[in-house]
Amino acid sequence: MAIEEYWRALLDGTRSELLESYRGQGLITANEVIEAGVRSLAELTPQQLLAAWIEQNLVSRTGFRDAEGRDLESSIGPYPARLWAFHVAHEIAVHADDVDMPIDPAETADRQRWLAAVSRFALTELKDDVSVEVSGDTYVVRQGDLVIELDEAAFVAGTTGRAGPRALTPEERDLLSLGY
């Protein structure tokens, strides 16, 4: 739940102090912080872990709603709370898929379109030299001479780091990666 701790630090303006506390523990990279967070939760039962996450996530979601109209300090400088919330929602949806959260079959198509739209936004925001054109179910991703044509499912899989309906080259994986 290190990510919830990070989001709360963004919301209350203590991001720098949190990062300093990580450095003080010898945690430098995001993966090191995540691994330490996972280790700290190892003794919890799945039910305890879920209950703790629900509680912490409610605090984060409320905080993002309350921060509407504000900029939050981030690694890239001030960033709108509304867009942070957008990215947080995307990350939660991706990880919900990772743990096979049940999805109402009636919502599957709309959810896939939403994930594709957010992935498109995040990818072009993250990488200034990338463009994504959509025509029907076809996503054409361009970065210089590299052009990838994917259907919606393969685009979402590629941007969320999952195995998709077609194998990607290492260059294609790098291009599509959002870093989640």
pLDDT, tens digit (0-9, with 9 covering 90-100), for 97-133: 877 888 899 998 999 999 999 999 999 999 999 999 9
Which residue did the predictor score with more confidence, 149 or 92? 149
Q: Domain range for residue 86?
A: 2-102
Q: What confidence tens digit (pLDDT) does each residue in 50-67 have? A: 888 889 888 988 999 999
User: Does residue 15 belong to any structural domain of this protein?
Assistant: yes
Residue 87 neighbours by CB under 8 Å, 6+ apart: 118, 122
The pLDDT assigned to 12 comes to 92
User: Does residue 13 belong to any structural domain of this protein?
Assistant: yes
174 C-beta neighbours (distance < 10 Å), count: 11
The pLDDT assigned to 129 comes to 95
User: Does residue 76 belong to any structural domain of this protein?
Assistant: yes
144 C-beta neighbours (distance < 10 Å), count: 8
Which residue did the predictor score with more confidence, 95 or 154? 154
CA distance 2 to 17: 14
User: Does residue 178 belong to any structural domain of this protein?
Assistant: no
Reported as a pLDDT band with limits 50, 70 and 90, residue 70 is very high
User: Does residue 135 belong to any structural domain of this protein?
Assistant: no
Q: Is the dihedral of CA 117, 119, 121, 127 positive or negative?
A: negative
Does residue 180 register a pLDDT over 70? no
**pTM for this model (two decimals):** 0.77
Whether the Cβ atoms of residue 78 and residue 72 lie closer than 8 Å to each other: yes
The pLDDT assigned to 123 comes to 94
User: Does residue 160 belong to any structural domain of this protein?
Assistant: no
Tokens describing residue 50: 């879920």
The pLDDT assigned to 1 comes to 66
Backbone angles phi, psi at 128, to 5 degrees: -55, -30
Look at the chain and report how many structural domains it folds into. 1
Residue 150, helix vs strand vs coil: strand
Q: Is the dihedral of CA 117, 136, 172, 127 positive or negative?
A: negative
Residue 172, helix vs strand vs coil: helix
Residue 148, helix vs strand vs coil: strand
CA distance 56 to 37: 14
User: Does residue 66 belong to any structural domain of this protein?
Assistant: yes
User: Does residue 8 belong to any structural domain of this protein?
Assistant: yes
- With tokens 């300093």, the residue in question is 20
Rounded mean pLDDT, 69-77: 88
